[in-house]
Structure 1
Amino acid sequence: MSLVTAWTDDRAPRATQTVLTEALALRYGETFAVDPSTQGLDRLAAMAARGSHRKFADRPVDAELLRLLCAVAFAAPTKSDLQQRDVVIVREPELRRALDGLVAGQGWVARAPVLLVFCGNNRRQRQVHAMRGLPFANDHLDAFFNAAVDAGIALAAFVTAAEAVGLGACPISAIRNEAAEVARLLELPRHVFPVAGLGVGWPAGEATVAMRLPTAVTVHEDRFDEAGTEAAIAAYDARREAAQPYTTHRLAERYPDRAGYSWSEDKARQYSVPERAGFGAFVRAHGFDLT
């Protein structure tokens, strides 16, 4: 039985505990103590063993189910109850083709049955000020940041809700590569901006449980601590290469091949060339003061 499907069957609490501990061990290369009496182990197991889906069955997703999932996602936390996040469900075929073309380097997007675009929305807050006749006194970087974080939280909540009903999903950050064109196509007004797309559908096959950096690198107590980070990343590189080796090497035409192509090599190559350098200019042109 795979980690991805194990929690959907009838099982004893011990079985769920096993799924959770195995998924965490695969993710992090660590052992976690899991009390079998802990409430919600089935939900924790599902979250720990999840993976993104880029292959989908030729089966439509019901419009009412999408609406339900959006409502559940927007129940997620939002800064100060400001609710600065919206989603655009892209249905119109011509519009969908145009958006698919903007991320043509990711061919799977065009095959996803559903495309959503999650947006930060600081416009509505400004409209509320106009309605109430009060000044908007926070026209600075935090206004943009709060809306972006709200949209990210909503996207994560939508993914969790979608996976709970059996759907698969994968975020599409490349939607920001052409943020101005996305805003034009979706007719996003000033102070509303794309944060990420999301491909959604009924999975065709199981997702891969991607390994993650060990928690010794990412979880801190009391103060930020980088002691041992390089050694931990090197060990993670080796563990990931042994179990989930990269099948292609990024920017192979630019950089000479090295033995043991690793996560750190891939990520260093990715950010060794400019990416979305114009996004700040788009955000400013879209009405935000980022000081």
Structure 2
Amino acid sequence: MPNASIADLIEDRFGVRIDPGSDVPGEETLARVLARRTHRRYADRPVPEPLLQTLLACAFSASAKSDLQQSGVILVRDPAKRATIAGWIPDMPWIAQAPVFMVWIGDSRRIRRICDLRGKPFGNDHLDSFLNATADCALAMQTFILAAEAAGLGSCCISAVRNHAQALADLLEMPKWVFPVAGLCLGWPDREGFISARLPLSLSVHTDRYDDSRLEEEVDGYDRRREARNPTPPEKQRDRDLYGTSPAYGWSEDKARQVSHTERDNLGPFVRRQGIGLE
């Protein structure tokens, strides 16, 4: 949507008109965030190393819980290692094709080593420590994504790397207290892509208490809006051999089918093997 207003971008994404008026502070940045999209197809053009390092500096300028800075990233530059990861996830060829591929990590190791260096005990070996490192990593990764998009680059998160958490940790030599959060492809987009419609704000924004009393009608409306824009052909419906073909297929049917299959139930044991307490 070239030259779209903030109100247009919100309506396109959420199906509701919110007009902040003219002369909005930071309008260009807000519009860029509202227009952001995932890219899985990249031009055959490298990302200059100084630009990549600048984007990483932006990433690690993100908020960090109590300034503990428990996030990190591993740039996967070894062709053999990249090919191995791509081979684990063959339905995502962009892992092999992107000019840059990286794995974002939660790093609870650094602070524990610092405690040892300073002769202090680490007194937080429990679930909240895991959540803190994960949140730090997610904040840094999203900041990287937004910085990359501001520079004209596109990206695609790869949560499927966690399907192979132990093998990935072995391949990338992650020591105890370090764990993968997501992969990320990066490159110059070779096409514009499209803005993905999101659930209505009324389902995500709550005031004073959690309220999903209108879930059914809001999701039904969202399904219709999303399918009207990007219809799902019957042959693209998920798990037709198990669930058949639905005449009213939409986001909710697709996601219900997706999560009906157990996935990554070995992640907890892996994290524990990395030495992180989850109690």
Output the TM-score relative to the length of structure 2.
Answer: 0.97
Corresponding residue to 2:255 among 236, 242, 267:
267
Q: Deviations over 1:233-271 (max 9, x none)?
A: 011111111111224111122111110211000000000
Q: Deviations over 1:61-108 (max 9, x none)?
A: 112211110011100000000000001111111111111112222122
Does structure 2 conserve the Cα–Cα contact (< 8 Å) formed by 1:241 and 1:260? no
Q: Which structure 2 residue ranges, 5 or more long, are not aligned?
A: none
Q: Which structure 1 residue ranges, 5 or more long, are not aligned?
A: 7-17
Q: State the secondary structure of the residue aligned to 1:237.
A: helix
Structure 1 equivalent of residue 194 of structure 2: 208
Corresponding residue to 1:175 among 148, 161, 164:
161
CA distance in 2, matches of 1:214, 1:174: 26
**2:243 counterpart letter in structure 1:** Y
Does structure 1 conserve the Cα–Cα contact (< 8 Å) formed by 2:109 and 2:176? yes
**1:272 counterpart letter in structure 2:** S
CA distance in 1, matches of 2:29, 2:63: 18
Corresponding residue to 1:198 among 157, 178, 184:
184
Does structure 2 conserve the Cα–Cα contact (< 8 Å) formed by 1:120 and 1:194? yes
Structure 2 equivalent of residue 232 of structure 1: 218
Identity %: 45
**2:239 counterpart letter in structure 1:** L
**Equivalent residues in 2 for 1:91-240, closer than 5 Å:** 91-240=77-226
CA distance in 1, matches of 2:50, 2:232: 39
Does structure 2 conserve the Cα–Cα contact (< 8 Å) formed by 1:88 and 1:116? yes
Q: How many residues align?
A: 277
Tell me whether 1:282 sits opposite 2:263 in the alignment.
no
- Return the offset for 1:226: 1.1
Q: State the secondary structure of the residue aligned to 2:225.
A: helix
CA distance in 2, matches of 1:286, 1:177: 16
Structure 2 equivalent of residue 59 of structure 1: 45
Superposed CA RMSD: 1.0
Structure 2 equivalent of residue 10 of structure 1: none
Does structure 1 conserve the Cα–Cα contact (< 8 Å) formed by 2:76 and 2:101? yes
Q: Deviations over 1:134-182 (max 9, x none)?
A: 1111100011110011111111000000000000001000010100011
